[in-house]
Amino acid sequence: MWSRAVAVLSFLVFFSGGDVWAKNLGHRVGAGKNEFHKDLPENSIVALNAAVTKDTTGQALQDHPDFRYCEFDVQETADHQLVLFHDESLVRMLPDQEFNRAAIEMIITDPKVKKRVGKKKVEYKDLETRHLTLAQIQSLRFGEKWKAGPVEGVPTLKDFLDAAMSLKLAKPIGAEVKLLYSDQGKNEYIRLLENYRNLYALPNPPKQEKGYDMSADGVSVLAGKVAFRRTFGRVFTRKRKTWCQTLSKHGFKFIYRTGAHSENHCR
């Protein structure tokens, strides 16, 4: 198994120009295009299950030293629920295919969705995660290209963290902020991560592999520069200062920049 993992890792490093993502087999929960479980949907519970399930040799992907941490992406829906989803647009992961057509039609004709998008006539390509309620986004399913097929849909952050605990994820987590636009969403994000840390990560210290460079307690908040600015405010503003103080109060003193973990957004 490990020879296959090393081959995949080498492929990723070569085609990404040495990008830091390629050094972690747990990127987007270790699934999706160019990842280890390329036939499973990224940021999904089925991918998490695959990452922690032992094979016939008694090994799991999370046992590999290059699975340094389980990274996933968090966004907020129109009704302030938190889900795992990478893109703002829906079409790549939740495609306009036959099994999604009825749900898509209901969504694009919903007057509330039209108002959120700001168009009288909405096309599927116009939709972003923030335009849909949790029920609407969960009415859609991942594409047929995935082995999971149209069975599984987008998980909530709570359901994912609950699954990580029940499946006994043994490595640290990195919860990457994509867009949390309301105070309610930001507070819930902090609460859920703090709960996971206190209930699970601290009593079961995650294994830190060589090269792991984030939080010692195994629960890290990370974001790209633009994503952090959109969610927590611009540098030197009262909004950012207030949210950085809130994060620090809950034990998240160092907010890691994606791709450059030595940079703290809350410096």
Domain boundaries, the chain: 2-80+153-264, 90-143
* Residue 105 and residue 48 in contact, taking contact as beta carbons nearer than 8 Å: no
**For position 125, what pLDDT does the model report?**
98
Residue 167, C-beta contacts closer than 8 angstroms, at least 6 positions apart: 48, 49, 52
**For position 34, what pLDDT does the model report?**
85
Give the span between the Cα atoms of 167 and 188, in whole angstroms.
Answer: 23
Phi-psi region of 28 (alpha: psi -120 to 50; beta: other; left: phi over 0): left
Mean pLDDT by 10 residues, the chain (267 residues): 46 37 83 89 94 94 97 98 98 93 98 98 98 98 68 93 98 98 98 98 97 97 98 97 98 96 96
> pTM of the prediction?
0.91
Cα Rg, the chain, nearest whole Å: 18
**For position 23, what pLDDT does the model report?**
73
Residue 267 CB-density burial (10 A; 0-12 exposed, 13-18 middle, 19+ buried): exposed
